[in-house]
Copies of this chain bind each other. A is one copy, B any other.
């Protein structure tokens, strides 16, 4: 067993760094977790539907954490016109994120009909922008659509968009099912797929009793987790890391009842940024894929996004001298976040952080 691994410039192609005080807390965690390039989600309040707002947000992130290369996205929305796409592309915005309406945190402005956005997708294809898809359809009792099969039902939309735009780079984000893995593998090279760290470990059994494991899409069955792990083991470059690391104050992860008697649900999201690369190394080693780590956390995503590693940005991992335990709390007061893997040990640590 190797005691040291040198990784060429790890990248996280799906991360939430929020706004305000939470942004100040979590943005520095991205570098701390061994990430050199971060692809930032636009589901702020209000969502980032304008190029100038994306650029202002990018400046904010560069101020807080100048060592990270911040790659930015727009939030797909009626305000995002083909003209806005050309403007954004010119300004260096890399992609556009699509949220089906209402399925996750701050997605109430999400879309309902992909066909409406074909002119936007066309402009993105021409400008070389990437389309990032939250791959779930909204739940619908009449159609027996629930959070368990919402991703499977989305795949027909993925196939349609991919067929209509053969030169548009498309990423199915945070895939959680065997069907999604098979679908992406079967589609042309313009379609890729991110996996989170937490979906490489969770199944529904660990999610149902534990709000800190609740995220969207929800972790599914053991066979689904195995499909994700096997996609990494295969070395297929379509599959790479997008952590979907999403901090929520621990109060939002606790059931509560308002004075008027309203029972509040827990927020969806797992937070992995502060120790992301060591966690991914620990998980991949756990299922016999440590040899695929560099491809998964760096090479595959960088090739797909055409964002080469910068000189001198490698990250070295070593086995910790004493067991390295993930903290159970980050921040404090209204900002306290309980991370994924809280209290568990990491088999790897970063040498130079």
Question: What residues make up the interface of A, taking CB atoms closer than 8 Å to B?
Answer: 139, 141-142, 144-149, 203-205, 207-212, 214, 218, 220-223, 253-255, 257, 260-263, 265-268, 325, 327-329, 338, 342-343
**Residue from B209, B212, B267, B343 within 8 A of A260 (CB atoms):** B343
* Chain B residues, Cβ within 8 Å of A255: 210-212, 253-254, 338
* Chain B residues, Cβ within 8 Å of A257: 328-329, 338, 342-343
Question: What are 8 A-B pairs with beta-carbon distances under 8 A?
Answer: A142-B222, A146-B222, A208-B218, A209-B211, A212-B255, A254-B254, A260-B343, A263-B342
Q: How far is the CA of A262 from the CA of B218 in the complex (A)?
A: 22
Q: Shortest CB–CB separation between residue A258 and chain B, in angstroms?
A: 8
* Chain B residues, Cβ within 8 Å of A342: 257, 261, 263
Closest chain B residue to A149, Cβ basis: B221
* Chain B residues, Cβ within 8 Å of A147: 204-205, 208
Q: Shortest CB–CB separation between residue A257 and chain B, in angstroms?
A: 5
Closest chain B residue to A218, Cβ basis: B208
Q: Shortest CB–CB separation between residue A58 and chain B, in angstroms?
A: 31
Asked if B210 and A207 make an inter-chain contact with CB atoms under 8 angstroms apart, the answer reads: no
Q: How far is the CA of A212 from the CA of B141 in the complex (A)?
A: 21
Asked if A261 and B204 make an inter-chain contact with CB atoms under 8 angstroms apart, the answer reads: no
* Chain B residues, Cβ within 8 Å of A327: 261
* Chain B residues, Cβ within 8 Å of A208: 147, 207-208, 214, 218
